[in-house]
Amino acid sequence: MEKEQGISMIDNLIDKLVSEGISLGKHILMAIVIYIIGRFIVNFLNRLVTNAMNKRKLDPAVKSFVGSTVNIILQVLLILSVIGALGIQMTSFSALLVSAGAAIGMALSGNLQNFAGGLIILLLRPYKIGDFIEIGEESGTVKAIQIFNTILTTYDNKTIFIPNSSISNGVMTNYSRQETRRVDMVVGVEYGTEYEKVKSVLEDIIHADGRILTTPAPFIGVNALSASSVDIVLKVWTKTDDYWDVTYDLNRIVYERFNKEGIAFPFPQLTVHKGS
């Protein structure tokens, strides 16, 4: 009798395990199907949103921000759908989230600030994609404005992720905002060098470069009488896109022309007087 009861209990246990296994297998299979279909739907909706924004010819910064926001929302909805398909009660899951709300809130506080910073950037538009900006010790060309970060690419092709909150709350310099920029150059010449000759050579260099604007007018003047040199300052305006090319070319051309014209560059000298 006891043997039969034991066998019956084992049979019931096996039946229960099989039933639970089948149910669990169904949930897992359903979750996998939902995930695969959900990924397809998420990618489709992302492309749909991107195409809609492209047709409306929205600002690239707006497209980048909206695109990343929509993608995150869709990913969260997909995760919740998979959790529901696994048979986890959403009420229990919600209760778990509520109980961990304080910790989650602290963990996400920085991201919420970054999200708010991104909205401020889109509204005030201190920069746009393609602008060259400087934030603290970092500088580069804006490649994307995402939901939490702004992505910069440096001249040496490094990618920098800067939190939006630090940009909206800090000091940021936009070198591309204005159409023109001024190139400032200081040239040191030896004492005794004729100033008018130096000025004439610099004027020839300026007039020969079509990238240098005539308005505002270029400026040449004596900047300082230094210990070993007379410092001549040259200030010219050019288009923002030509700024670096003009800067480097001016340095090269001034060096070549001064050597050709016999205008000497100074170097530090020390005069020693011998006592009797």
What per-residue confidence (pLDDT) applies to 148?
86
Q: Residue 38: pLDDT above 90?
A: no
What per-residue confidence (pLDDT) applies to 32?
81
159-163 and 149-153 strand pairing: antiparallel
Q: Residue 104: pLDDT above 50?
A: no
Number of other CB atoms surrounding residue 258 within 10 Å: 19
Mean pLDDT computed over 239-263: 93
- Report residue 140 as tokens: 């580069």
- Which residues have CB under 8 Å from 263's CB, separation 6+? 189, 193, 197, 198, 201
Distance of CA 145 to the CA centre of its chain: 7
- Report residue 213 as tokens: 């604007």
Poorest-pLDDT segment among 14-18, 84-88, 226-230:
14-18
Mean pLDDT computed over 153-166: 91
pTM: 0.60
What per-residue confidence (pLDDT) applies to 111?
72
User: What pLDDT digit, counting tens, does each position of 178-193 carry?
Assistant: 999 999 999 999 998 9
- Which residues have CB under 8 Å from 224's CB, separation 6+? 231
Architecture of domain 10-99 in this structure: Orthogonal Bundle (1.10)
CATH tag for 180-261 (out of 3.30.70.100, 3.30.479.30, 1.10.3720.10, 3.40.718.10): 3.30.70.100
Q: Residue 252: pLDDT above 80?
A: yes
User: What pLDDT digit, counting tens, does each position of 208-232 carry?
Assistant: 999 999 999 999 999 999 888 899 9
Query: What residues does each domain of the chain span?
Result: 10-99, 180-261
Mean pLDDT computed over 163-176: 88
User: Who has greater pLDDT, 122 or 188?
Assistant: 188
What per-residue confidence (pLDDT) applies to 167?
86
Q: Residue 132: pLDDT above 50?
A: yes
Do 10-99 and 180-261 show the same overall fold? no
